[in-house]
Chains A and B, each alone.
Chain A
Amino acid sequence: MLERAQANGAAPQALWRARLALGAAAQSVRLSGRSEPEAALRDIICLLRPGEQPGPAGEIAQAWRLAATRPLSDASLQRALPGLSAQQIGVWDRGGHGGPVAQAAQVIEAVLSDAPRAHLAALILGDAVLARSFGWTHLVPLLGSNLPGRELKLRGDALRLACHTALVKSVRDALALATDLTRRAVRLHSVAPKLRSKQAAIAVEMFLTRDAIAPAALVPLMSDRAARRLCDRLVGLGAVRELTGRDTFRLYGL
């Protein structure tokens, strides 16, 4: 079913993965004993400026985002998990035995036996194994969103079962999200011709690949004012939403 969601040309894949990554990041943040919700992580990702450090929760959010953005490779995982050695990263591509979920569970177990607190690395590599076993080009954050801490303490068959259960739940959520985003993407495409400018067309593409956009991110394309106007116009047309509910530092996305 997920294959069909990924093969569906209308579904905004990059955006879908970015939003799943945000959900997985929020779960990893909870596993690290912190409490930042998705919205706070989105703020950090969209509003961080050069020279500012993301902080512990922001680093987790960036790790998931980097892992899910580029095509899956040693290099993409190394960028996402700079603290791991090439050998540690390499486990995702080593191939275990059993089905995709069994292999992912083995990798999660291997990472956590080595470093019991390395939940983030374990889950990102687990999802990498899953994507590779299914033959996907990109990492799709699935296990990362639904494995609570007590289940990550399990080993062997119990952990494998927990991964199966988590995956069933994650796939259901991910499919619902894909359906929702596809509907919104169709809506955005349908209003795009009304915007009548080349820059706006590029902006539309950006909305279809990113979880959220601050108007300032459009400034290379257009003036600050024009960017704000475009975002407001798209909200007016029902094509994008303002995601923060704030009056300032607004973020827009599907």
Chain B
Amino acid sequence: MGKTRTPELDRELPDLPPELRWREWMKRIEAVLFASGAPVAREDLARVVGQGASLDLLIDDLRVDLDARPYELAKVGNGWLLRTRPAYASAIRAVADIADQALNLSDYDIAVLAAIAYHQPVSRDGLKDIFGKDISRDLIGRLSERGLIAPGPREPRRGAPYTFVTTDAFLAAFDLTSLADLPDQEQLQDAGLAQANSADQGDDAALD
């Protein structure tokens, strides 16, 4: 690290005995994840370890290694990140300087975010249809500033309005591995959060 030009990274580490080599690869993965605020994709992590090394086995070993630590490895989308365990949330909140990491979203912001998650890619017009009123650019701005949403494909109609999609940071923030982890219609009903006769019923009815 530092100002000097970074030399080519020695991925294979041929001089080390196999066991130390494996350790070193684990440490590299940990270091990369430690230094990164966002999930790191599989192909990026693969670039710091040997060509033939199994990233999944390295990750598994690292996960075991971190068992006793207050932070853990989490798989998010196509990547991984290092995060503190929920049990330490109160300690961190008490003193750590994390103001810029806190999401600070209102219930309404979260509702719009949820609508985007379920209906993505969706434009502001689409959100207006869902909420019955305009969703302000400020609100959309807040969500994208926090990296929770990103521009999706534009709608193929006049004005080519942008749509919004959720990001890996969204998955990380809500502890989801993929969008398939979002509660489905049935779970939402069981939790009393959705009604059985909503507009999205068509598919379920067809299956019965």
| A246, CB-defined interface residue at 8 Å | yes
| Stretch in A41-49, A168-176, A195-203 with 4+ CB within 8 Å of B | A41-49
| A87, CB-defined interface residue at 8 Å | yes
**Which listed residue (B152, B167, B179) contacts A54, Cβ 8 A?**
B152
A residues within 8 A CB of B152?
52-55, 58
Q: A54-B153, A82-B41 are in contact. Are A87 and B56 (CB under 8 A)?
A: yes
Residue of A nearest to B179 (CB): A56
| B165, CB-defined interface residue at 8 Å | yes
Q: A85-B42, A85-B54 are in contact. Are A47 and B154 (CB under 8 A)?
A: yes
Interchain Cβ contacts within 8 Å, total number: 67
> How big is chain B's contact interface, by range?
20 to 34
Nearest CB on A from B61, distance (A): 14
| A32, CB-defined interface residue at 8 Å | yes
A47 contacts B42, C-beta separation under 8 Å: no
**In chain A, residues 66-113, which have Cβ atoms closer than 8 Å to a Cβ of chain B?**
82-83, 85-88
Measured in the bound complex, the distance between the Cα atoms of B178 and A117 in whole Å is 10
B56 contacts A246, C-beta separation under 8 Å: no
Nearest CB on B from A22, distance (A): 15
**Which listed residue (A85, A117, A249) contacts B156, Cβ 8 A?**
A249
| B180, CB-defined interface residue at 8 Å | yes
| B78, CB-defined interface residue at 8 Å | yes
A48 contacts B153, C-beta separation under 8 Å: yes
Nearest CB on B from A94, distance (A): 15
A residues within 8 A CB of B203?
33, 35
**In chain A, residues 185-231, which have Cβ atoms closer than 8 Å to a Cβ of chain B?**
none
Nearest CB on B from A6, distance (A): 32
Measured in the bound complex, the distance between the Cα atoms of B154 and A44 in whole Å is 8
Measured in the bound complex, the distance between the Cα atoms of B154 and A246 in whole Å is 15
Measured in the bound complex, the distance between the Cα atoms of B150 and A47 in whole Å is 17
Residue of B nearest to A250 (CB): B156
**Which listed residue (B55, B78, B121) contacts A55, Cβ 8 A?**
B121
A/B interface sample: 24 pairs, CB < 8 A: A33-B180, A43-B153, A43-B156, A47-B156, A52-B152, A52-B153, A52-B154, A53-B153, A53-B165, A54-B153, A55-B121, A55-B152, A56-B165, A56-B179, A82-B41, A82-B78, A83-B77, A85-B55, A86-B46, A86-B55, A87-B54, A117-B178, A246-B156, A249-B156
Q: What residues make up the interface of B, taking CB atoms closer than 8 Å to A?
A: 41-43, 46, 54-56, 77-78, 120-121, 150-154, 156-158, 160, 163, 165, 167, 178-180, 184, 203
Q: What residues make up the interface of A, taking CB atoms closer than 8 Å to B?
A: 32-33, 35, 43-44, 47-49, 51-56, 58, 82-83, 85-88, 117, 244, 246, 248-249
Task: Kindly list 4 other residue pairs between chains A and B, CB separation below 8 angstroms, not including A55-B121, A86-B54, A249-B156.
Answer: A47-B156, A52-B154, A56-B179, A249-B160
